[in-house]
Amino acid sequence: MVKVSVIGVGMRSHAGVAQRMFKALAEKGINIQVISTSEIKVSVLIAEEYTELALRALHSAYGLDAE
């Protein structure tokens, strides 16, 4: 298992951050085992074999792979 997190102070004021994370992982067929949240963080546990796929999917979902 690996823990993948989306973190940022802006999560308080931006609705849909967690939903975007869950949707991006679901579209890649990545099963979430555990979800943990706080005011500025959403973390999930997924199977280790999906680590790279999950990170790439989340980077795309949040526009972090744009140049």
Using one digit for the tens of pLDDT, what is the confidence trace for 15-41?
Answer: 888 999 999 999 999 999 999 998 899
Q: How far is CA 27 from CA 2, 9, 40, 59, 65, in A?
A: 19, 26, 24, 14, 17
Give the up-direction half-sphere exposure of residue 29: CA atoms within 13 A in the CB hemisphere: 1
Q: Does the structural domain 2-61 have CATH classification 3.30.2130.10?
A: yes
Q: Where are the domains of the chain?
A: 2-61
pLDDT score for 1? 97
* Residue type at 3 in one-letter notation: K
pLDDT score for 67? 63
pLDDT score for 66? 66
Cα–Cα distance for residue pair 32/10, rounded to 1 Å: 23
